[in-house]
Amino acid sequence: MFPSKGRKCPLEYTKSYKGSCYKFVDSGQGLTRSAAQSDCEGDLSHLVFLDTKEENDFLVQQVSRDTKYWIGLFSPKRHLFWDNKNQVTFVNLDCENQDTFNDGSGCFKMSNTDRKYWLDKSCKEELGFICEYEGPVCPNDWTNPPFLKNSCYHYVNDSPKSHISAQSKCQEDSAHLVFIESKEENDFLVGSAQNDTEYWIGLHDRPQLFWEDGNRMTFTNMDQSNHKTFNHRSGCYRMSNDGGNRLWFDVSCDNTFSYICEYKGSQCPPGYNKVFKRSCYKFVDSGEDVSWSEARSGCADDFAHLVYIETKEENDFLLNELPTDKKYWIGLFSPQSHLLWDNGNLVTFLNIDPKNEKSSNNHTACYMMSNTSGRYWLEKSCDREYGFICEYEGSGCPNSYTVLFNQSCYKIFNDSPASRTSAQLKCENDLSHLLFIESKEENDFLVGKAQNDTEYWIGLHDRPQLFWDDGKVASYTNINAGQDLTFDDRAGCYQMSNHDGGLVWFDESCEDNSGYVCEYEVN
């Protein structure tokens, strides 16, 4: 039901390659590395991640000669990461050149000179940069306005329903009735709607105006002639064509109208170019045949897993995507004849040939699927080598939070300084907390996210010793080595700052206004 679709590139993103769109900013408008990343993020994109030699070669051919461009690679303490913590599967460094890491600053650029290698540069230099826009992966017949919102929209014009029935139909696709949060979004929806058609939206007014996810309305296009009190309102809202304005009107929830579903588009990792409902899929074909356990490890490297097939619809979708005559491991196995998915989930849907009896009740068997063999799942020895299908079920991150690191999502506030208490309250409004940094790896990961020379509140305090706000003792710290005060002298609260390619922590008065980082724990 939800195969992936192609996308048009937004304005200024003039080149495309395998589903990504690219914007090239030359040195005449050059920025520091952190400012370049912020510019890309303003487009809901990021500094480019180069995942294959083919992509690198494509971009080298596009860039202006003698211009140097920031890319999304950094190396805290000489450990290479992409900004989103994705595994570095391809590198183009001059490994024989002792000066490759000479600057030691952890940021990298590419150019059409320097033998076309990526080179380490000071993060404070002002260079050109390349933004990569991957956008949400929208299902077929759903549309996305580039840069506006990480959402996909579907207009149901020909099957009017009551408000509750329309919401239920959207939920069948893991979607909801549309939430309209800006004039730009409203204008986009108006431009895509049929003339003279009225649509349910996800707004209600009990006891005041809220979207159905509980968020308050921050933008309205309400019919201003509708001055009724909330006690007399009908409870539900439609978007109607009124001289091209598409105003919102309240109406009885039992009326039947067309409706617009909104789906939070899946942010699929590189290589995961098929989507069904909330999952993204990567097909690793038989050119890279491996055993079942090796396939399992390969998926885990992407924070994914061997596919779990839970419905006939999902199975049919995958079969339609499979190349002919290819065999793929799935996440099903049978220790001592008990069928289980790899995560222990119950098997609620089966597609096993009833004639395919187990050869033994005393060994662990694994399962593969293919477009042949009656399209059934077949039991095989786990040591056999096949292709495999990885399933990525999404980060689970709230809107505007960045990608996962060890089951945490992050939101960095650079431009809204707040006291420590106010910052914590703002995080709690998102069901998150001020950042807990629990390992060197996490600290290094955040180097690529924090602006240089900006201070951020973190969730550390020192009464009577160093604790995170959840009460756990800080087992890892990166306190500024110049701070040798006793706890009695300290200010009680802690900030972090990005200096010379590394994040250091220092104590500060809790009343100071600073940036801050909220952390949302998926589990």
The CATH number for 517's domain is 3.10.100.10
Q: Are 501 and 76 in contact (CB under 8 A)?
A: yes
Number of domains in the chain: 4
Residue 43 falls inside a structural domain: yes
What is the Cα–Cα distance from 446 to 150, expressed in whole angstroms?
23
Q: What is the mean pLDDT of residues 469-476?
A: 89
Q: Where do the H-state alpha helices sit in 173-259?
A: 183-192
Tell me, what's the pLDDT at 270? 63
**Are 19 and 129 found together in one domain?**
yes
Tell me, what's the pLDDT at 175? 80
What is the Cα–Cα distance from 405 to 23, expressed in whole angstroms?
27
Most confident of 75-79, 225-229, 248-252: 248-252
Residue 227 falls inside a structural domain: yes
Residue closest to 241 by CA, chosen among 188, 200, 190? 190
Residue 166 falls inside a structural domain: yes
The SS3 of residue 265 is: coil
Residue 403 falls inside a structural domain: no
What is the Cα–Cα distance from 362 to 334, expressed in whole angstroms?
10
Q: What is the mean pLDDT of residues 395-407?
A: 63
Last residue of a domain, one of 366, 392, 418: 392
Question: For 301-328, what is each residue's pLDDT tens digit?
Answer: 777 899 999 999 899 989 988 887 789 9
Residue 3 falls inside a structural domain: no
Is 255 or 230 the better-scoring residue by pLDDT? Answer: 255
Does the pLDDT value for residue 266 go beyond 90? no
**Are 47 and 100 found together in one domain?**
yes
Burial category of 279 from C-beta neighbours within 10 Å (exposed 0-12, middle 13-18, buried 19 and up): buried
What is the Cα–Cα distance from 424 to 210, expressed in whole angstroms?
24
Among 79-88, 154-163, 378-387, 398-407, the range scoring the smallest mean pLDDT is 398-407
Last residue of a domain, one of 330, 360, 392: 392
**Are 122 and 176 found together in one domain?**
no
**Are 182 and 212 found together in one domain?**
yes
What is the Cα–Cα distance from 155 to 202, expressed in whole angstroms?
13
**Are 328 and 360 found together in one domain?**
yes
Q: What is the mean pLDDT of residues 383-410?
A: 76
Residue 8 is classified by DSSP as: P
Which two structure tokens, joined as six digits, stand for 441? 């790896």
- SS3 for 217-249 is CCCCCECCCCCCCHHHCCEEEEEECCCCCCEEE
**Are 423 and 502 found together in one domain?**
yes
Helix (H), strand (E) at residue 176 = strand 176-177
Range of the domain at 486: 408-521
Is 298 or 405 the better-scoring residue by pLDDT? Answer: 298
**Are 245 and 209 found together in one domain?**
yes
**Are 245 and 305 found together in one domain?**
no
Last residue of a domain, one of 330, 359, 392: 392
pTM of this structure: 0.45
Does the pLDDT value for residue 386 go beyond 90? yes
Helix (H), strand (E) at residue 61 = helix 53-62
Does the pLDDT value for residue 364 go beyond 50? yes
Buried b vs exposed e over 292-317: b needs ≥16 C-beta within 10 Å?
beebbebbeebbbbbbbbbeeebbeb
Residue 101 falls inside a structural domain: yes
**Are 216 and 168 found together in one domain?**
yes
**Are 366 and 465 found together in one domain?**
no
Name the phi and psi angles at 184, rounded to 5.
-65, -40
The SS3 of residue 413 is: strand
Does the pLDDT value for residue 5 go beyond 50? no
**Are 515 and 472 found together in one domain?**
yes
Q: Are 26 and 64 in contact (CB under 8 A)?
A: yes
Residue 464 falls inside a structural domain: yes
- Give the pLDDT band (50/70/90) at residue 231: very low
The residue to which tokens 């002002």 are assigned: 126
Residue 273 falls inside a structural domain: no
